[in-house]
């Protein structure tokens, strides 16, 4: 088993603690979280610097967990999407985190890039519009301050804006492309993943490898 698989296995095991918090509310773990932080389910869980290191590490898996579950407003109890019986299994979480559960053409590329696994998951969530932006937090009833801190746009921050439509992001991409001598696509892309794909189509194999890494690093830096 390589380093990547161990990382993925660890994340699958951490995801199990999120599941236990929702599904085993009388269990020792849920009671501990309730006593320590007043939290009884994952909906109340938000990244917090006052949490223990372990609690903070499971918070990193929250965006993935929210993609992977159907909340109890649709079923009598919370439902895991990637097993037929709707119950969590570590192996199904591992398969999805390792991208054997869901596939899209771009995600197969992402999973092969030589970047840290943390960055892969981040890009994977970006491609699926699942990053915890202000827009998504508000849709979940979490009233965080709104507006882009970079361009002072007052609208709720979305992935589209943050990674591409913000004048700051656009300037960043133009500068980066200029540095790597890559031409900006003549047809204006509207999302950062369209920019990636449009440029990719016109490159040869060695250049594609460089562009993939530049794009992923650019998204991570923004």
Residues that bind Zn ion (CB under 5 A): 148, 150-151, 153, 166
Strands 69-70 and 79-80: antiparallel
Q: Residue written as tokens 């999973």?
A: 111
Q: Measured from the CB of residue 168, what is the shortest distance to Zn ion in angstroms?
A: 6
Q: Measured from the CB of residue 222, what is the shortest distance to Zn ion in angstroms?
A: 10
For residues 68 and 82, the answer to whether their CB atoms sit within 8 Å is yes
Select 47 or 147, whichever has its Cβ closest to Zn ion. Answer: 147
| Lookup: tokens for 34 | 């309730």
| Lookup: tokens for 191 | 């999302």
For residue 140, the cross-strand partners are: none
Q: Measured from the CB of residue 178, what is the shortest distance to Zn ion in angstroms?
A: 21
For residues 13 and 89, the answer to whether their CB atoms sit within 8 Å is no
Q: Measured from the CB of residue 150, what is the shortest distance to Zn ion in angstroms?
A: 5
Task: Round to whole Å and give the CA distance between 214 and 205.
Answer: 14
Task: Round to whole Å and give the CA distance between 210 and 28.
Answer: 49
Q: Is 116 helix (H, G, I), strand (E, B) or coil?
A: coil
Select 150 or 208, whichever has its Cβ closest to Zn ion. Answer: 150
Q: Measured from the CB of residue 30, what is the shortest distance to Zn ion in angstroms?
A: 39
Select 112 or 149, whichever has its Cβ closest to Zn ion. Answer: 149
Select 71 or 129, whichever has its Cβ closest to Zn ion. Answer: 129
User: What crossing angle do the helices spanning 3-23 and 28-37 adopt, rounded to 10°?
Assistant: 80
Task: Round to whole Å and give the CA distance between 54 and 13.
Answer: 12
Select 80 or 164, whichever has its Cβ closest to Zn ion. Answer: 164
Select 19 or 163, whichever has its Cβ closest to Zn ion. Answer: 163
Count the helices and strands in the chain (H runs, E runs): 12, 2
Q: Measured from the CB of residue 66, what is the shortest distance to Zn ion in angstroms?
A: 24
């Amino acid at each position: 088993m390589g380093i990547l698989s161990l990382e993925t296995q660890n994340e699958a095991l951490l995801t199990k603690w999120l599941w236990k918090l929702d599904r085993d509310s009388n269990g020792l773990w849920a009671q501990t979280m309730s006593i320590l932080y007043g939290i009884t389910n994952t909906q109340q869980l938000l990244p917090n610097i006052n949490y223990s290191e372990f609690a903070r590490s499971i918070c990193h898996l929250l965006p993935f967990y929210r993609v992977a579950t159907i909340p109890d407003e649709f079923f009598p109890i919370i439902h895991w999407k990637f097993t037929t019986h709707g119950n969590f299994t570590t192996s199904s979480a591992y398969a999805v985190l390792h991208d054997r559960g869901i596939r899209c053409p771009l995600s197969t590329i992402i999973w092969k890039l030589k970047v840290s696994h943390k960055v892969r998951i981040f890009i994977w969530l970006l491609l699926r519009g699942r990053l915890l932006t202000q827009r998504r937090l508000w849709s979940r009833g979490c009233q965080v301050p709104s507006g882009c801190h970079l361009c002072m746009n007052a609208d709720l921050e979305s992935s589209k804006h943050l990674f591409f439509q913000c004048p700051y992001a656009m300037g960043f991409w133009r500068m980066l492309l200029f540095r790597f001598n890559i031409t900006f696509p003549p047809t204006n892309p509207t999302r950062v993943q369209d920019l990636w794909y449009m440029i990719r189509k016109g490159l040869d194999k060695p250049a594609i490898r460089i562009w993939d890494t530049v794009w992923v690093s650019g998204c991570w830096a923004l």
